[in-house]
A and B are shown apart, each in its own frame.
Chain A
Amino acid sequence: MSSAMTRPVITFATDFGPAAPAVCRGVMYQIAPDALIIDINHQIPRFSIRDGAATLVFALPHMPIGVHVAVVDPGVGTERLGVALEVGRGDILVGPDNGLLMSAAEKLGGVVRAHALENAALMRPVVTSSFHGRDIFAPMAAHLAMGTPITSVGREVDIEALVRLARPQARIRDGVLETEIVQVMIYGNVTFAGSPADLESAIGALEPGRQVVLEFPAHAGEPAITESTIWERTFGRVPLGASLLMEDSEGQLSLADNQGNAAQRLHLSVDRPVRVRPA
């Protein structure tokens, strides 16, 4: 992957917060001094494999082809494997085998081979039980970025045996789409499982300005809410502070407030069910 002319790319996403990522970057630069390291995000909600997976799906298709290290690893030090996944586009994804990498791998052309991270020569000399980002994933990734073949990291593992996250699906009913919140974005925009096509199958054609109703049943101590809103193309099509249902930049259904924070206003969080129906 490395050549004399091109700096190898390593992208890096974790739930580490402010300081630990630099330690890992130090480890990577010791092995690959010319690497171009792109920090995607180190503020993934702690231990949330699902948020980490969503972050990678959102980001990796726009990164240069390279090695992508991701660490959201509540199972660090247990028997869960560390893996390197080669994908159709030519990238290698490195991280724990807990489902974190799989959705992004599919976006990049699917896993073509998977290897367990076992070769101690490619790790830090001392491997702790609690910081595999530093001791295993960072050095492995840097070696791969420098051109070490994926076959040398450890034994090949069956692609079918890799851990996958259950993916919430929208359910198309007669006149209603039943779905759930899969992500809350930084502006407070709330992403639902399902696409505009799913919603159209349930409630008919979506024209800009069409009124729709979102029903959030009572959930985890929060009372039931009904939100009347309209289908629109983008934020600036509705008045300041008003809400809209739209297709987000990833092609998913999303509820947003124009220059506001819909998640805060309605006390919405991930996993909350929602029913979308015509007004």
Chain B
Amino acid sequence: MKVKAVAANEVVSVKLLIQHPMETGRRKDQGGNVVPAHFITEVTASHKGVAVFHAEFGPGVSRDPYLAFEFTGAKAGDTLTISWVDNKGSSEKSDFPIVAM
């Protein structure tokens, strides 16, 4: 995951890039075999234990999902925890610093 969380005027702007194939389950490989569906289903962000972002994704989200959102109530120097889970049960959870603009 690549995350940029910038605090300015009480608002934290988050830009997030997750490396993930986001296979729709409808694409065929070079051998003509259907590539099984493999996509992120949920993305969550929390600040000091409180959820500040939650999204459900389907396979219509692009490969290597790019996403941006905003939330309030945090400041530069705080930590933002972001996690995702996919339809195969894989997941990732990491902490990122919120920086000043």
Partners in one complex: no
Q: Using a CB–CB distance below 8 Å, which chain A residues touch chain B?
A: none
Q: B residues within 8 Å of A by Cβ?
A: none
